[in-house]
Amino acid sequence: MARATILIVEDDKAIRLGVRDVLQMGGYAVREAGTGTSGLDIACAGGIDLVLLDILMPEMNGLEMLEALRRARPSLPVIILSALGEGPDRVRGLRLGADDYVVKPFGADELLARVEAVLRRSAERPVARSSLTIAQRTIDLERRQITHADGTRCMLSEREAEVLHYLASCAGRPVSRDELLQRIWGIDPRGVRSRTVDMTIARLREHLRDDPNDPAVIRTIRGRGYMIDAEGES
Amino acid sequence: MARATILIVEDDKAIRLGVRDVLQMGGYAVREAGTGTSGLDIACAGGIDLVLLDILMPEMNGLEMLEALRRARPSLPVIILSALGEGPDRVRGLRLGADDYVVKPFGADELLARVEAVLRRSAERPVARSSLTIAQRTIDLERRQITHADGTRCMLSEREAEVLHYLASCAGRPVSRDELLQRIWGIDPRGVRSRTVDMTIARLREHLRDDPNDPAVIRTIRGRGYMIDAEGES
DNA sequence: GGGGTTCGTCACAAGTCTGTCACACGCCGG
DNA sequence: CCGGCGTGTGACAGACTTGTGACGAACCCC
């Protein structure tokens, strides 16, 4: 990434400008939003590599925005800017899948160090491709369409496609139900014990003609979650 | 991971005990070290999922320990515990590859949230292929999977994988049942005389197709425990 | 050989995890 | 309003994991 673009979502203009200066000094391109709704629009439009998100904002709560953002762009990294004393929200934020949070007031060095760390981690994440072939099934994630070996096709629903997309982007490691709930459903998975993820996987497997007892595409790793094998493995 | 084990490296006993209580309350297993050198030993020995590291310590500076630890176990997550006003150290710590830091004084909620977040990220990190080959069997401990010489594969259960992992990390020396009970089961083995460990080994051997009467992988050292040969030995 | 100890394995029970069913709910296009 | 579709939920059965006592065999020391 030559020059990462960072979106600041923060209602306090003074802080926003200060943060902007720090980031620009650090060599990043910066975009700004004063409200959660406008921030969400900009982030969804694309071209953003990282979001700095204030939790306490009028109009749309930062956490709500985070939830919405996670649904729209599950892999876009987010750092929460939080004031001291927002304990419960902080915890919820991290549980919702924020990549980090910085407590106000923060120094320029600290902010840059965290931004750098998060960007580095996100760069390590393998890019999800828009189409892939697994076990004789060609999967077009853009069109949400599966083509089987015999040439027949079927469509995936929105949720199914999201889950498959995420699993594929994590190919080679097991992905837990909690992680899926966080990243795709935008749900805080504490204590949630529902069959939601399992059912989506079951429907996905049905479309993939994948036998759960002898899976060719989505393997179950008991106690850990689901996994798609990385390329080059059988 | 059923229950993560966290190592606290902190010279101030009061803080150490406080942190320990918080972590145990949060459901984690805890080990402690009062100096950097002893902490390094414990961390390198294995069985640790996360290190909480105080920066200011006598004998061995926390940053030095971090550097040494990074060389020995590059992927072991570390959270730095730092006092206010150590700005430059903080930044250096993050640059040295600490995964996070918490500023003293910190609340229980904040500590647990950070611990949880770092553990989550470390679980989501694409794992470097950490496989070992023993007697024609390729063992992928991350995925709990054994590949035999004939290409067939089988999965290990969580416990089996933990035990195999531990034995492999101690390759070359016998590991007693008590040590296994302590390190893996988290049980004080005094007076315990159960077949728990033996059964896990038996099941493991079955998956490994290892004949107890003529073992190729896990040898029984009567009176001492079990042992995996070090590489290069037959 | 005798007695005690250690080890491997069996059967079993309790607990946990998964896959699936049936159903309810909301959404959308007739 | 109806019916189809996608989706989430509770219930439930079956599979899997794991610890335990029982038991016999192997082993060790004398």
Same structural domain for residues A107 and A165?
no
Question: b/e string for B127-159 if b means 16 or more Cβ within 10 A?
Answer: beeeeeebeebebbbbbbbbbeeeeeeebbeeb
Give the mean pLDDT of chain A.
83
Same structural domain for residues A116 and A136?
no
What is the number of alpha carbons within 13 Å of residue B199 lying toward its C-beta?
A: 6
B157: nearest CA in chain A?
Answer: A222
Same structural domain for residues A161 and A193?
yes
Among A88, A107, A124, residue at a domain's last position: A124
- What residues of B are in contact with residue A94 (Cβ under 8 Å)? 113-114, 116-117
- What residues of A are in contact with residue B79 (Cβ under 8 Å)? none
Confidence of residue B85 (pLDDT cuts 50, 70, 90): low
Closest-CA distance, A82 to chain B, in angstroms, reads 12
Same structural domain for residues B12 and B82?
yes
Can you give the pLDDT at residue A155?
Answer: 93
pLDDT of B130 strictly over 80: no
Check which CATH number belongs to the domain holding B191 and give it. Answer: 1.10.10.10
> Residue range B61-75: average pLDDT?
79
Using DSSP's 3-state secondary structure scheme, residue A73 falls into coil
Is any atom of nucleic acid chain D found less than 7 Å from the CB of residue A206?
A: no
A130 compared with A223, residue with greater pLDDT: A223
Question: Is A172 close to B110, i.e. CB distance below 8 A?
Answer: no
Confidence of residue B113 (pLDDT cuts 50, 70, 90): confident
List the one residue out of A23, A9, A117 whose CA is nearest residue A53.
A9
Domain that holds residue B146: 131-232
Same structural domain for residues B91 and B174?
no
> Residue range B104-123: average pLDDT?
80
Can you give the pLDDT at residue A97?
Answer: 66
Can you give the pLDDT at residue A194?
Answer: 86
Check which CATH number belongs to the domain holding B83 and give it. Answer: 3.40.50.2300
Among A67, A98, A124, residue at a domain's last position: A124
Same structural domain for residues A84 and A184?
no
- Please tell me the least confidently modeled range out of A52-61, B37-46, B48-57, B76-85: A52-61
Same structural domain for residues A108 and A199?
no
Can you give the pLDDT at residue A221?
Answer: 94
Per-residue pLDDT reduced to its tens digit, B157-213: 999 999 999 998 888 899 999 999 988 888 876 666 789 999 999 999 999 999 988
Same structural domain for residues A188 and A218?
yes
pLDDT of A59 strictly over 80: no
> Residue range A95-100: average pLDDT?
70
Same structural domain for residues A32 and A102?
yes
Can you give the pLDDT at residue B234?
Answer: 44
Same structural domain for residues A113 and A169?
no
Q: What's the structural domain count of chain A?
A: 2
Distance CA B229, CA B100 (A): 37
Among A124, A141, A156, residue at a domain's last position: A124
Per-residue pLDDT reduced to its tens digit, A6-37: 999 988 888 899 999 999 998 999 999 888 88
* Cβ burial, residue B123 (10 Å; 0-12/13-18/19+): buried
Can you give the pLDDT at residue A167?
Answer: 93
Same structural domain for residues A38 and A100?
yes
Per-residue pLDDT reduced to its tens digit, A196-221: 999 999 999 999 999 999 999 999 99
Can you give the pLDDT at residue B70?
Answer: 82
Same structural domain for residues A109 and A138?
no
